[in-house]
Structure 1
Amino acid sequence: MDLDDVVAIDVHTHAEVSASGHGSLSPELLAASADHFRVRGHRQPTIPETAAYYRERRMVAVVFTVDAEHATGHPPIPDEEVARACAEHADVLIPFASVDPWRGRAGVRAARRLVEEHGVRGFKFHPSLQGFAPDDRLAYPLYEVIQELGVPALFHTGQTGIGAGVRGGGGIRLRHSDPMLVDDVAVDFPDLRIILAHPSFPWQDEALAVATHKPHVHIDLSGWSPRYFPPRLVRYANTLLQDKVLFGSDYPVITPDRWLADFAELDIKPEVRSKILKDNAARLLGLGGD
């Protein structure tokens, strides 16, 4: 990809449906998420359709699904399929994978294979959905291999729309997505590049503290319209964390069109705006200019 022609890099988009029509979530959890984001009835794009969408806008997108089969019983979209589809649209799509930490040694082997044989460029964790605390030692062998491979680990943080309004929250425990739990990971794996996904309600100050304190911890701004960003998050993005904050939309539930329109209304310095939209992600993902 030619970064000079790229308008923005969206580090947070979802593969919600496989080529066979298999969804990334159970119907119950998918409906809860749709209600939370007020997008009930929206059509789930295929990965090629996502590529066309971002190509039209001259943007690059990181794409992933979530493997939470241990906690939910719902089989994930195969990471290999995501990687293969992204490879067919490598001008606009970057594949991340999701390996359930509960898979143990098999998950560690899969992570290595996904990077070395399938071109995966990072890994997505959703602790609440996957049913584990980020500082649980069960995940440490997986972090170790991800750190060795030199690719980022992206952690969902804060509240989630998945399971919202379902009896018992669909069994999803919000406390697993406290960013302070990722602080232990940043200490124990000091060379692991970490992304804290989303404004981390109700732990926004904690996320800012971790990202300020730990050199390799970043924050993506996905999942919220910028008009609702907490003022302190905007202030830190404009100053102390200007080199560590990343554009992310949460497509398809939030489109980059809406996100960017609202972001344009924020009081962000021009030189910082370009960092957030593209430069920080390009550096973090090791993207070249070809």
Structure 2
Amino acid sequence: MSAARLSRIDPDRLVAIDVHTHAHRSVDRVDQQHLGNEAMGEYFGVGTMPTYTVPELADYYRERRMAAVVFTVDSISQTGVEPEPSNFEIAQLAAEHSDVLIPFASIDPRRGRAGIDLARSLILEYGVRGFKFHPSVQAFYPNDREAYPLYELIEEHELIALFHSGQTGVGAGQPGGGGVRLKYANPLHLDDVAADFPGMDIIIAHPSFPWQDEALSVATHKPRVYIDLSGWSPKYFPPQLVQYANTILKHKMLFGSDFPVITPDRWMRDFEQLDIKDEVRPLILKENAVRLFGLQSQTSESEHEGEHTNAGRDR
């Protein structure tokens, strides 16, 4: 995967790469500054969950010497409402903060041909590096052939597909769970996707309660399937997830917070107490993501360019 559009991210200057963050507020909503989602905040025990614009999120992660993947969720087929901030706003603003932000897009698979055209524009004109899917909120099974044209486009451009899995805080505690159906988020459905699109990198997001074993099985069996550890404090990780992270999946586990639901500060503080091998910690926090996103040290590139220039002068 080309890292040209990510050239301002220098992994050597980072302590971690958070592969799962949300922008919940447009820069145009100045009247809504930091007002948040009370229901989600109550579910995660954080009070009213604050919301962030893309520039605010960039500042937050820059202060912590971290980079972050940022996206919205498009579920227009279920809500009738366009996502805010839009995919275009996220991509444009992330480009202005490309030293710390990696933009993903989100396209509701039920948009059909219009969604394909939108995704292609976001790839070719705005440089998004992957796509976020939320099967429970978008109400589709990941292996539904209706979504396959989107996957074909993602695979063609060597990008990443990130899928929510397991129980979700969206709708939790509301009457009928807010209409959100958990059945769509069983990670076993992603086994079909990984088999049918062997050239596409897939991230299974979150500890996949109550299907953790299914997620581990798919990630073990399919070479381009990863797991991000977002949405849960590490102190609640199930034992088998810790076991696999320490052993056969140590190169396929990725740090993710689900910010602002969980802050990277809290996640990393609890991660320090987790029984993870010393040699595995840097893999999860940064090195696996560096490899997945094809990031390169800016220092190394500068030194290489200098050597090339000097060699030209010697001639």
* TM-score, structure 2 normalization: 0.88
Contact between 2:228 and 2:256, CA under 8 Å: does it hold in 1? yes
The question of 1:17 aligning with 2:62 is answered no
Post-superposition shift, 1:75? Answer: 1.8
Contact between 2:208 and 2:215, CA under 8 Å: does it hold in 1? yes
| CA RMSD in angstroms, aligned pairs only | 1.6
Stretch of structure 1 that moved more, 228-237 or 40-49: 40-49
Q: 1:22 to 1:109 in 2, by over 3 A?
A: farther
Contact between 2:251 and 2:288, CA under 8 Å: does it hold in 1? yes
The CA deviation string for residues 30-57 of structure 1, in whole angstroms up to 9 with x for no partner, is 4432221123323212211111111011
Instruction: Name 2:287's counterpart in structure 1.
Output: 279
Aligned to 1:60, what secondary structure does the other structure show? strand
For residues 251-270 of structure 1, what are the structure 2 equivalents within 5 Å?
Answer: 251-270=259-278
For residues 24-43 of structure 1, what are the structure 2 equivalents within 5 Å?
Answer: 30-43=37-50
Stretch of structure 1 that moved more, 8-17 or 264-273: 264-273
Q: 1:30 to 1:132 in 2, by over 3 A?
A: farther
For residues 169-248 of structure 1, what are the structure 2 equivalents within 5 Å?
Answer: 169-248=177-256
Distance 2:80 2:41 in 1: 20
Q: What amino acid maps onto 1:193 in structure 2?
A: D
Larger radius of gyration: 2
Instruction: Name 1:50's counterpart in structure 2.
Output: 57
Stretch of structure 1 that moved more, 244-253 or 164-173: 164-173
Distance 1:40 1:200 in 2: 24
Contact between 2:76 and 2:83, CA under 8 Å: does it hold in 1? yes
Contact between 1:125 and 1:153, CA under 8 Å: does it hold in 2? yes
Distance 2:205 2:51 in 1: 21
Q: 1:30 to 1:42 in 2, by over 3 A?
A: closer
The CA deviation string for residues 215-241 of structure 1, in whole angstroms up to 9 with x for no partner, is 000000000000000010000000010
Aligned to 2:112, what secondary structure does the other structure show? helix
* TM-score, structure 1 normalization: 0.96
Post-superposition shift, 1:22? Answer: 9.4
Distance 2:229 2:149 in 1: 28
Distance 2:287 2:50 in 1: 31
Query: 1:73 pairs with 77, 80, 86, which one?
Result: 80
Percentage identity across paired residues of the two chains: 63
Contact between 1:112 and 1:149, CA under 8 Å: does it hold in 2? no
Q: What amino acid maps onto 2:77 in structure 1?
A: H
Gaps (5+ residues) in structure 2? 1-8, 299-315
Q: What amino acid maps onto 1:184 in structure 2?
A: D
Distance 2:59 2:204 in 1: 27
Q: What amino acid maps onto 1:38 in structure 2?
A: G
The question of 1:118 aligning with 2:126 is answered yes
Contact between 1:30 and 1:162, CA under 8 Å: does it hold in 2? no
The CA deviation string for residues 170-220 of structure 1, in whole angstroms up to 9 with x for no partner, is 111100000001111011111110000000000000000000000000000
Distance 1:221 1:245 in 2: 7
Q: What amino acid maps onto 2:165 in structure 1?
A: T
Aligned to 2:125, what secondary structure does the other structure show? helix
Residues matched between the structures, number: 286
Contact between 1:159 and 1:200, CA under 8 Å: does it hold in 2? yes
Aligned to 2:171, what secondary structure does the other structure show? coil
Query: 1:162 pairs with 156, 162, 170, which one?
Result: 170
Post-superposition shift, 1:3? Answer: 1.1
Distance 2:128 2:75 in 1: 18
Distance 1:180 1:22 in 2: 41
Distance 2:114 2:37 in 1: 28
Distance 2:30 2:168 in 1: 22
